[in-house]
Amino acid sequence: MLDIVVNSLYTNKDVFLRELISNASDALDKIRFLSVTKPEMLGDTPDLEMKIEYDPDQRTLTIRDTGVGMTKEDLIANLGTVARSGTTNFVKALGEGAADVSMIGMFGVGFYSTFLVADKVTVASKNNDDDVQHIWESLNGEASFHVGPDPRGNTLGRGTEITLHLKEDADEYLGPRKLKEMVRHYSEFVTHPVYLREIKKIKVPVEREEEDEDEFDAEDIEGEESKEEKAPEMEEVTTFEYEHINTDPAIWARDKEEITDEEYQEFWKVVSKGDSSGDAEEWVHFNAEGNINFKSILYLPSEVPFALQQGRPDEVRPGLRLYVRKVLISDEFDLMPRYLGFIKGVVDSDDLPLNVNRETLQESKIIKIIKKKLVRKTIDLIQAELDADGNVIFKEDKPKAVHPYITWYKKFGLSLKMGCLDDSANKDKLQKLLRFKSSKTEGDDDYVSLQEYVDRMPEWQKEIYVFPGESMKQLKESSFMDAFYDRDVEVLFLTDSIDEYYVQQVREFGGKKYRDITKEGVKFSDEDEDLAKRRNKVYTDKFKPLTKYLKKLFGGDVTKVTISKRLGKAPAIVSASEWGNSANMDRIMRAQAFAHGVAPGENMMPTGNLELNPRHPFVIKLLESLPEDEDAEVPSSVKDSAWILFDTATMSGGFPIRDPKKYAARMTRVLKSNLEVDSLTLADEIDPPEEFDMPDMADFDMADLEDLDM
């Protein structure tokens, strides 16, 4: 299993140093945090730092920190079991093609990346809770490890020392240039200093022992002044110098005017921890001042976090690190609501107590204030590419063919809709960020905002028309759309599973209520109101015998039968009641039932309203086919036609047919009548003639064919 992990990371061997620096930084943060309330824990090792040393002769690379250290039990628990759950999850993800090198830290196996460059790894560690310094050792490829007291004794005082015995192909890590480059890349924003011990060769004068004065004779003394002074003899010696690599302060503490985009993107890689691929889309760096003061950098990712891509929203890790005076308090605390869980960054506050714990954080008034400000800043960040009306503003450095916001929204729009459900305080702001497909949008990248929709509404339109469904093609071709096409009225298409929950809960935008066109109650105010009332009364009275008969015929399969003026070319359609589930919601609920192993029963079958088009020939013919006497028997052909009309209207409305077997039987009877088939008895089997064997063409002689008289 270790070989699988190592081989999966082979393309980026440098990752091992990132993991070791990250682990050392965590250990230093822990002891610093503990020492705030218990200064004596620093003991004789007050300096919190990391040191990196290389030894070309021994082919070793050593990373040492003065962090919290590990006890023997910690060494066994943290390093002793390669096949722990994190490794297993990583291997599983590899098999599914869902993991790459940037994700290694997500599975808790980052330490084992050391075997990319090392044949043997030795870890010495000393913790304040353990009187003995212990050493852990393992060889690459072996499933076993060794742990025990360090024979050197307590050389660390406190902390951890990791020694890598490098492979033959890892020479580049035995010199300062590559190590400096890697340390600056991975630890530029680490709070604690990182020192690199550099080996230097210098020349110094040779020190010789002074000769005994008695050995000098007079001639030597007399001639000394006449001799020229000789250059001192030099020798080469090895010296060690420690260079402080990460001299820059924490990036969030710096003046944002002095920070380049490249530096912000590098810090993005640090805070995203492999949760997202690609660069940051946008970011905001600010100092919040007032009753509560804090510094923060918030990042908007350009790609959806891996856990969301794989349909595991509960596994999306909190994206903000909480610091108090640069002391890491938590990187697992939810400073953002669930719908903004993709936001990454840091928050550093001087107003929180250093000894705060997660339980205290949850109820902290300061944290609640910080959360509100962070949410507001994030919404403003998303709004930054939009103008006050919610229309896209193009940036000069981005292609104008595709709206930059649309590219981002197609990946994160579901999260914003979730925010409209969960965050009532910011609902109005979030709605301005939403984008929808509609009956008037064209192409994959053409969307409409709610404000644009309202601005395009005809003067008589008082509601926002929405149409929930499974696909754009289905919605565009639906009979529900006929009347809207005829009137050139725009309809928003809702194809996300969350959309219907959104419109049901939010209910309106800018004072305009949402109206689901698949439900009863859709009315148009583009014609004279008095004329419409009089005409509707005439139609209702005229078709009353038909509506009454159909309600009796269909019984509990239909809620009511009405005459409708909103149908275009369709003879009829089944709509949902105003407060009932739409066909789309019924589909979602049935799918959820199947997903939980429950087969939807008869009681889950919806009943809708049958709306008839009084101008359609089918409907008029059905009315004419009814006997004048209500008690007279209705011909079976009329009944079949009525049922087929109802079943067709049910399917047009998006609902499932209640009894497919009966539907098939009725269709068979109609076909029999239309095709004038006397009987459905099957014809006798055909008795085929006997086949004769064709001669093999290989047996023919072409010369014989030439003799034939054609």
**pLDDT of 394:** 43
Q: Which residues contact 317 (CB under 8 A, 6 or more apart)?
A: 106, 273, 275, 307, 332
What was the pLDDT predicted at 101?
39
- What does DSSP say about strands 194-205 and 50-55: parallel, antiparallel, or unpaired? parallel
Strands of the 194-205 sheet, one edge to the other:
146-149, 134-139, 118-126, 159-166, 60-65, 50-55, 194-205, 234-244
Report d(CA 182, CA 206) in Å as an integer. Answer: 37
In a domain, 389, yes or no: no
Q: Is residue 558's pLDDT more than 80?
A: yes
Give the tokens for residue 543: 């078709």
Contacts of 468 by beta carbon, 8 Å cutoff, 6+ apart: 494, 495, 499, 500, 503, 516, 518, 582, 584, 585
Q: Is 687 domain-assigned?
A: no
Q: What's the chain's average pLDDT?
A: 84
pLDDT band at residue 710 under the 50/70/90 scheme: very low
How many Å apart are CA 300 and CA 404, to the nearest integer? 13
* Average pLDDT of span 667-671: 90
Comparing 202-206, 432-436, 468-472, the range with the smallest average pLDDT is 202-206
Summarize the confidence of residues 320-337 as an average pLDDT. 80
For 94-151, give the secondary structure using H, E and C. HHCCCCCHHHHHHHCCHHHHHHHCEEEEEEEEECCCCCCCEEEEEECCCCCCEEEECC
- Of 521, 621, 639, residue with least CA distance to 571: 621
Beta-sheet strands, E only, within 479-592 = 492-494, 508-509, 512-516, 558-563, 572-575
Q: In the structure, what pLDDT confidence band is assigned to residue 97 with cuts at 50, 70 and 90?
A: low
- State whether 124 and 13 are in the same domain: yes
* 412, 402 Cβ separation under 8 angstroms: no
Domain-located, residue 423? no
Is residue 484 assigned to a domain? Answer: no
Q: What pLDDT sits at residue 589?
A: 83
pLDDT exceeds 70 at position 116: yes
The pLDDT tens digits of the residues spanning 7-53 come to 554 456 887 887 888 889 889 988 998 898 899 999 999 999 999 99
Provide mean pLDDT across the span 84-92: 47
Q: Is the pLDDT of residue 96 over 70?
A: no
651 and 524 in a common domain: yes
78 annotated as a binding-site residue: yes
Contact 342, 276 (CB under 8 A): yes
Given a cut of 50, whether residue 375 has pLDDT beyond it is yes
> Which one of 384, 418, 434 terminates a domain?
384
State the average pLDDT over residues 593-622: 80
Residue 396 pLDDT > 50: no
Least confident of 101-115, 186-200, 308-322, 467-481: 101-115
Buried b (16+ CB within 10 A) or exposed e, 28-38: bbebbbebeee
Asked if pLDDT for residue 482 goes beyond 70, the answer is yes
Whether residues 194 and 257 share a domain: the answer is: no
Q: Is 19 assigned to a binding site?
A: yes
559 labeled part of a ligand binding site: no
Neighbours of 397 (CB within 10 A): 6
Same domain, 177 and 290: no
The type of residue at 442 is E
Q: How many CB atoms lie within 10 A of CB 493?
A: 22
Domain that holds residue 573: 518-679
Please indicate, yes or no, if residue 263 is contained in any of the structural domains. yes
How many CB atoms neighbour CB 572 within 10 A? 24
Domain co-membership, 37 together with 163? yes
Check residue 137 and give its pLDDT: 94
The H or E element that residue 365 is part of is helix 365-383
Please answer whether residues 361 and 333 qualify as being in contact, where contact means their C-beta atoms are separated by less than 8 angstroms.
Answer: yes
Q: In whole angstroms, give the CA distance from residue 643 to residue 651.
A: 12
- Residue 100's pLDDT band (boundaries 50, 70, 90)? very low
Query: Is the predicted pLDDT of residue 200 greater than 80, yes or no?
Result: yes
Domain co-membership, 185 together with 54: yes
Q: For 632-643, write each residue's pLDDT tens digit.
A: 999 999 999 999
How many residues in total does the chain contain? 710
Burial readout 295-307 (b: 16 or more C-beta within 10 A, e: otherwise):
bbbbbbbbbbbbb
Q: Lowest-pLDDT range, 199-208, 424-433, 674-683?
A: 199-208
Cα separation of 708 and 448, whole Å? 80
Residue 385 has pLDDT above 90, yes or no: no
Banded model confidence at residue 312, pLDDT cuts 50, 70, 90: low
> Do residues 188 and 258 share a domain?
no
361 and 294 in one domain?
A: yes
> For position 395, what pLDDT does the model report?
44
Judge whether residue 424 has pLDDT over 60.
yes
* Residue 207 annotated as lining a ligand binding site: no
Question: Does 661 score more than 50 pLDDT?
Answer: yes
- Is 577 contained in some domain? yes
In a domain? residue 214: no
Residues in CB range of 682: below 8 A, 6 or more apart: none
pLDDT of residue 211 exceeding 80: no
Average pLDDT for 692-707: 62
pLDDT at residue number 92: 56
User: So what's the pLDDT on residue 690?
Assistant: 80
Of the three residues 384, 410, 442, the one that is the final residue of a domain is 384
Q: Which residue has the higher pLDDT, 78 or 137?
A: 137
Phi and psi, residue 201, nearest 5°: -105, 125
What's the pLDDT at 674?
Answer: 87
Is the pLDDT score of 694 beyond 80? no
What's the pLDDT tens digit per position in 516-527? 999 998 989 888
| Residue 23 annotated as lining a ligand binding site | yes
Dihedral over alpha carbons 303, 308, 309, 310 (to 10 degrees): 160
pLDDT digits (tens, 9 = 90+) for 230-283: 777 888 888 889 999 988 778 898 899 999 999 999 889 888 876 667 889 899
Of the candidates 389, 429, 386, 425, which has an alpha carbon nearest to the alpha carbon of residue 408? 386
Furthest-apart CA pair in the chain: how many Å?
158
More confident residue, 100 or 623: 623
pLDDT at 625 (0 to 100): 95
Average pLDDT over residues 663-670: 91
**Residue 486, annotated as binding a ligand:** no
- Who has greater pLDDT, 3 or 53? 53
Q: Are residues 139 and 69 in the same domain?
A: yes
Residue 447 pLDDT: 94
Whichever domain contains 611, its CATH number is 1.20.120.790
Give the mean pLDDT of 56-83.
87
- The rounded distance, in Å, linking the Cα atoms of 619 and 625 is 10
CATH number of the domain encompassing residue 327:
3.30.230.80
pLDDT computed for residue 532 by the predictor = 86
Q: Is the pLDDT of residue 616 over 50?
A: yes
Amino acid, res. 125:
S
258 and 190 together in one domain: no
The answer to the question of residue 449 being in a domain is no
- Over residues 62-85, the mean pLDDT reads 82
- 127 marked among binding-site residues: no
Counting other chains too, the contacts that 169-177 makes at CB distance below 8 Å and 24 or more residues apart are: 170/13, 170/117, 170/118, 173/54, 173/61, 173/117, 174/54, 174/55, 174/56, 174/59, 174/61, 175/54, 175/56, 176/54
Q: How far apart are the first and last CA of the chain?
A: 80
| Number of domains comprising the chain | 3
Mean pLDDT of 580-601: 77
Higher-scoring residue by pLDDT: 392, 407: 407
Considering the domain architecture, whether residues 150 and 14 belong to the same structural domain is answered as yes
Among the candidates 356, 384, 412, a domain finishes at: 384
pLDDT of residue 103: 40
Tokens of 125: 């560690």
Close Cβ partners of 456 (under 8 Å, ≥ 6 residues apart): 440, 490
DSSP E strands: which ranges in 206-293?
234-244, 280-288
Q: Distances in Å between the alpha carbon of 480 and those of 453, 476, 502? A: 19, 9, 21
CATH number at residue 140: 3.30.565.10
Residues 153 and 275 in one domain: no
The C-alpha torsion from 287 through 281 and 311 to 426, rounded to 10°, is: 50
Q: What is the pLDDT of residues 535-551, one digit of tens each?
A: 999 999 999 999 999 99
